[in-house]
Structure 1
């Protein structure tokens, strides 16, 4: 990847609906070479998809909790079963395996604390190999980026 590729990624992260004509202008290329680079970035996996950022307040998913999960075992089968089950739960926005005093950290979005309590009891606590959970209610989201920091080679 070169500087122009990074500039394309930067512009697309800022506005996924940018037209090819506008993108070409912003990265100082003509339309055809710019479109070819975008296709190459998509094919290589550098661009994995496009999405719309939805306001969680409007769709009643603004209640955020972070959940530490400790498993009863960490065999390959335990981890695979837990990972597969987590992927099927839409309220779990992210799941990260971590090193330390617990095994996973979940970011969960629900309508309110009652909705989370129901999800915890009926779903999260019933996930494969779950031994215990610790929940931390988010009082304020200070920063929650979905874009990636790109190398400083952008010249910005």
Structure 2
């Protein structure tokens, strides 16, 4: 939403709105403003969620895995979780062939990976919903 639109919505001047928004950035309440790209428009319509189990549960093995994940552009999200898996990865690819290639060349060779389990998304019901505050 543009600053002027936000200012109108909350009934303040655009300048006041801009200053308040800047303070929220400085306080790290707002991390970023970004466009949400339609995956189909950039030929990345296949979405997979991958559960990952590491062979060790040490801070060094977690750090090595997390650094390698940061260097893999197809991985959109990575979450350390409790339960049967150590991590869940959200991955966008063109198609199954692209995923198979990524899986064979990048995912199973990530540091410390013992096991993966892939779930292909059939329908995105809610994706990246903004916080409603």
Kindly tell me the number of residue pairs found equivalent between the two proteins.
133
**Matched residue, 1:113:** 96
* CA distance in 1 between partners of 2:54 and 2:128 (Å): 29
* CA distance in 2 between partners of 1:140 and 1:32 (Å): 41
Structure 2, unmatched stretches of 5+, are none
**Matched residue, 1:141:** 124
Confirm or deny that 1:84 pairs with 2:67. Answer: yes
**Matched residue, 1:102:** 85
Aligned positions of 1:45-64 closer than 5 A: 45-64=28-47
Structure 1, unmatched stretches of 5+, are 1-14, 151-156
* CA displacement, residues 107-136 of structure 1 (integer Å, 9 cap, x when unaligned): 111000010010001000000000010111
TM-fit CA distance, 1:47: 1.5
TM-fit CA distance, 1:58: 1.2
| TM-score, length of structure 2 as denominator length | 0.94
**How large is the RMSD of aligned CA atoms in angstroms?**
1.1
Which residue of the other structure, out of 24, 29, 44, is the alignment partner of 2:7? 24
Helix, strand or coil at the partner of 1:90: coil
Which residue of the other structure, out of 130, 133, 144, is the alignment partner of 2:113? 130
* CA distance in 2 between partners of 1:149 and 1:99 (Å): 26
* CA displacement, residues 7-40 of structure 1 (integer Å, 9 cap, x when unaligned): xxxxxxxx2xx1x333222111123322210110
Which residue of the other structure, out of 15, 36, 41, is the alignment partner of 2:24? 41
* CA distance in 2 between partners of 1:90 and 1:56 (Å): 14
